[in-house]
Amino acid sequence: MAKSFNNQANKNLTIFVFVFFAISLILFAYTLYNLTVKLTGYDVGYVNLTISTLVDINVTTNTVNWGPGVVTDPNLNASLVTAGSAAGTATRGNWSGTNAKALVVENTGNVNCSLAISGVKNAATFFGGNASHQLYQWNVSNKETGACGAWGETSMQNTWANVNTSAATVCNKLDYHPGNDEMYIDFKLVVPADATLLGALSDTITISGNTAV
Partner 1 sequence: MVSKKVVTVVFVIAILLFAFSIIMTFSNSNYSPKNAALSDDTVQPDVEQAQVSIIVNKPAHAPASN
Q: Which of 161, 164, 61 is nearest to 103 (CA)?
A: 61
Minimum distance of partner 1 from residue 187's CB (angstroms): 6
Cα three-residue angle 26-30-34, rounded to 5 degrees: 170
| Among 8, 9, 21, 177, contact with partner 1 (rule: CB under 8 A) | 21
Residue 81 contacts partner 1 per CB under 8 A: no
* Contacting range for partner 1; rule: CB under 8 A; set: 142-150, 153-161, 173-181, 193-201: 193-201
Residue 55 contacts partner 1 per CB under 8 A: yes
| Among 79, 164, 180, 208, contact with partner 1 (rule: CB under 8 A) | 208
Q: Which of 120, 118, 213 is nearest to 171 (CA)?
A: 213
Query: How many whole angstroms separate alpha carbon 58 and alpha carbon 103?
Result: 10
Task: Give the type of residue at 172.
Answer: N
Intra-chain end-to-end CA distance of the chain, in Å: 88
Residue 28 contacts partner 1 per CB under 8 A: yes
Residue 204 contacts partner 1 per CB under 8 A: yes
* Contacting range for partner 1; rule: CB under 8 A; set: 25-33, 143-151, 153-161, 168-176: 25-33
Residue 155 contacts partner 1 per CB under 8 A: no
* Contacting range for partner 1; rule: CB under 8 A; set: 71-79, 142-150, 153-161, 171-179: 71-79
In this structure, the strands spanning 161-162 and 182-192 are unpaired
At residue 83, what are phi and psi to the nearest 5 degrees?
-140, 75
Query: How many whole angstroms separate alpha carbon 213 and alpha carbon 103?
Result: 23
Site for partner 1 in 95-154 (CB under 8 A): 95, 103, 105, 109, 111, 113, 119, 127, 129-130, 132-133
Residue 191 contacts partner 1 per CB under 8 A: yes
